[in-house]
Amino acid sequence: MSEGQRETCDLLIEAGFVVPVEPHGVVLEDHAVAVRDGAIVAVLPRAEARARFDAAETVSRPDGALVPGFVNSHAHNPMTLLRGVADDLPLKVWLQQHIWPIEGAVIGPDFVADGVTLAIAEMLRGGTTCVNENYFFPDVQAAVYKRHGFRARVGLPVIDFPTAWAKNDDEYFDKAGEVHDQWRDDPLVATAFAPHAPYTVNDANFERVRMLSDQLDVPVHLHLHETAQEVQQSQDKHGQRPIARLDRLGLFNDRLIAVHMTQLTDAEVHLCVERGVSVVHCPESNLKLASGFCPACALERAGVNLAIGTDGCASNNDLDMVGETRTAAILAKAVAEDAAAFDAFTALRAATLGGAKAIGFDHLVGSIEPGKQADLACFDLSALETQPLHHVVSQLVYAAGRHQVSDVWIAGRHKLRERELPGMDVDAIVANARQWRARIAAISL
Ligand SMILES: [Zn+2]
């Protein structure tokens, strides 16, 4: 090919290994990813890439493994400021005597903006490029994600009691409509309905959520079957398990992002398949709060789309999708009593493409394919902890740590460069977090 025929691109990323996730089970050696206008235009051998493209910038990572950016499919990122504030307590005491009173004292636009900013920095340093967010003040969250060029689906909260965000049902729905309208055409930030949980949302509000989510064509992000107690409470109050109740209300469908799902009968697993419900597995939150075990392997083998989330930092206590993916993989084996269950490729797929699909972003992200946005994470596998490199995906899932993420791009923009965060003032973020520590410590419980 002569010089005159060379194509231009903005960015060429050369990596020792590329794990595209789609097709499944593939590791490409010495490949490159060409990016133009934020999107992937080609995935090809490095030598071919050099011959074909004139790149404005070339980034070479010969010891790197390039993967799709992780999609954290369930988080409450303002709660990053509550990391470690009350641990090792029973769920009810933890929520009612600690988390809710503290939130009552601090919640507002500043708390939300500062928590999300801290979370963005942490997520980028761990290879996460997209989040499914669920908290109050979604208007503030959306603006902060946009400012930092971070991809997000922001939940529009619905809950039966007044909060700092809205004082009654109509206000929750009015505000949801306003935030949705403001972000409906944004390339980076979108919305979902986020009714809190079956035990905090009545039938009438669920019906409004169903009608509006159909009308606006947005997903519904919901905590569901998190604990045995939740299921029992629903039986007592409604005469139905929460899934049956949601199915009666028309919400158990392919828009539903069902988070936790630790209590499932075989029939409920099959109903997930039939209705196209996506399940978000949050293993570390479930373990720490002793909520139960999501049957990830049974769901995956039945054909349910599975995603992975960290949950909020008050119950995890980090936003580490690398660690969460490992926990998901090994816990799935233990629960299935089968060491062959939920292999490394399957775990990585759930943490990337599974999440993208769950939140309706799979046309945009989740795999390294031409036409998708260049949301990418690169791991440096040269460290002794990931040597010798017998199997790249095994090292990524079972041995690597998030500190080995060297680079991250979102829509082709370099958001983490050799562990540095261009465009973010890390010292200021840490100083601000310390200031919140003092404010929270001063709250009398
Ligand atoms: Zn949650």
Question: Which of 345, 310, 366 shows the shortest CA–CA distance to 40?
Answer: 366
CA of 144 to the centre of ligand 1 (A): 20
Task: Report yes or no: 86 and 368 within 8 Å, Cβ to Cβ.
Answer: no
Q: What is the pLDDT of residues 216-264, one digit of tens each?
A: 999 999 999 999 999 999 999 999 999 999 999 999 999 999 999 999 9
Q: How far is the CA of 278 from the centre of ligand 1 (A)?
A: 15
Instruction: Tell me the domains of the chain and their CATH numbers.
Output: 3-68+373-411 (2.30.40.10), 70-358 (3.20.20.140)
Indicate whether 4 pLDDT > 80.
Answer: no
Cα dihedral 299/304/307/309 (nearest 10): -50
pLDDT, residue 150, reads: 98
List the alpha helices (DSSP H) in 137-241.
138-147, 169-183, 203-216, 228-238
Q: Give the Å distance between the CA of 260 and the centre of ligand 1.
A: 8
Backbone phi, psi, residue 199, to 5°:
-85, -5
Question: What is the 266 CA–ligand 1 centroid distance (Å)?
Answer: 24
Whole-model pTM? 0.98
Sole residue written with tokens 């465009």: 423
Q: Give residue 348 CA to ligand 1 midpoint distance, Å.
A: 21
Question: Kindly report the CA angle at 72 between 68 and 73, in degrees rounded to 5?
Answer: 115
Ligand 1 geometric centre to CA of 207 (Å): 22
If you average pLDDT over residues 332-338, what whole number do you get?
96
Cα(299) to ligand 1 centroid in Å equals 20
Read off the pLDDT of residues 116-147 as tens digits, 9 standing for 90 and up.
999 999 999 999 999 999 999 999 999 999 99
pLDDT tens string 131-189: 999 999 999 999 999 999 999 999 999 999 999 999 999 999 999 999 999 999 999 99
How far, in Å, is the centroid of ligand 1 from the Cα of 365? 23
Give distance in angstroms: CA of 387 to centre of ligand 1.
Answer: 36
Collapsed DSSP state (helix, strand, coil) of residue 5:
helix
Ligand 1 mean position, distance from CA 429 (Å): 24
Choose among 21, 54, 207, 148: nearest CA to 415: 148
Task: List 444's β-bridge partners, or say none.
Answer: none
